Structure 1
């Protein structure tokens, strides 16, 4: 009626969208390009402002790369790793900023920077533990439901029991 098929349009849309690996690669390339631009601006600076600029340029790259990595791998471990690396990069920026200070102000600045880093690391670790616990909980629930299904099969005999057990195994991935 319209001269086109829904399947052909869907195939074209799928082909138009880049896959996850391509997106990841492009985001890494963008991160490196952004870093080079930011680092080039640092060349005109000297001393502590230059150190701060370089740390900020690196932090921008780390943020982009690690978020891309976490999105690409989409795992608890990848996200925790990204959070930790980002926290380390942010700490380097804060530490560079603290170096321009003197006396107690410098000491307080460094302690605060360390505190922020430790908090981010602790949050990443806690998030990973919570997600791991939820994963274990889901597995335990699945196993319990599987045992209930098998128990129901025990009331059957012959082919009906075999079919029931086979269905339970299929349903619960056993």
Structure 2
């Protein structure tokens, strides 16, 4: 009888330990910790946004874009900690790409003419590349690094990135005139394998 009780107690302890371990691996944190972290992120966003109030013009716009981007990335990271998955990791990377893109676009507003256009195209190219890599990484994590879906996603990301970089290169040519512009366009087409 005593042995049976000891065996039963040991089995129950092992069962509770295993279920607690399983709960920890499926979710990165408990609801209370998630709620507390979310409130901390909200407070930080309000503080960051308030710090922009004393600024003027485009500097204020850049500051707000940085605060908003930081908030979106922090929220995505928190969600990824709370419910870890390949999709959550992808959302973090896309949030970072979107935040960087929004800030870069705001910084381009300080420029004029072709320089501004080139700046925006460069920002778009970087954004396209970052999002493409995030999606490809997620596909690889979901289906295995050597799968056809992962390879196809990487191929699509490379093509989209090259297209965006080509658009930026063509925009740089717009500032030129005559033969220099023609040579620039030909070089861009050659570099990015466009006809």
- Identify the TM-score tier after normalising by the shorter chain: 0.5 to 0.7
Map Cα deviations across residues 111-169 of structure 1 (whole Å, 9 max, x no partner). 111111111110111011111222998xxxxxxxxxxxxxxxxxxxxxxxxxxxxxxxx
Report 1:55-94 matches (<5 A): 55-94=65-104
Q: Secondary structure at the match of 2:144?
A: helix
Q: Tell me if structure 2 keeps the 8 A contact 1:27–1:68.
A: yes
- Are the structure 2 counterparts of residues 50 and 82 from structure 1 closer, same or farther at C-alpha, using a change threshold of 3 Å? same
Structure 2: segments with no counterpart, 5+ residues: 1-12, 21-27, 148-195
Q: What 5-or-longer segments of structure 1 have no aligned partner?
A: 1-6, 138-174
Deviation above 3 Å: which 4+ runs of structure 1? Answer: none
Equivalent pair of 1:69/1:78 in contact (CA under 8 Å): yes
Deviations 1:26-67 (A, max 9, x none): 222121111111111111112211110100111111121111
Q: Equivalent residue of 2:90, what SS?
A: helix
| Separation of aligned partners in 1, 2:62 and 2:50 | 13
Residue range with higher mean Cα deviation, 121-130 or 84-93: 84-93
Aligned length: 123
**TM-score normalized by the length of structure 1:** 0.63
CA–CA separation in structure 2 for the residues paired with 1:121 and 1:79: 12
Q: TM-score, length-normalised on structure 2?
A: 0.57
SS at the partner of 1:74? coil
**Which of 113, 123, 137 does residue 133 from structure 2 map onto?**
123
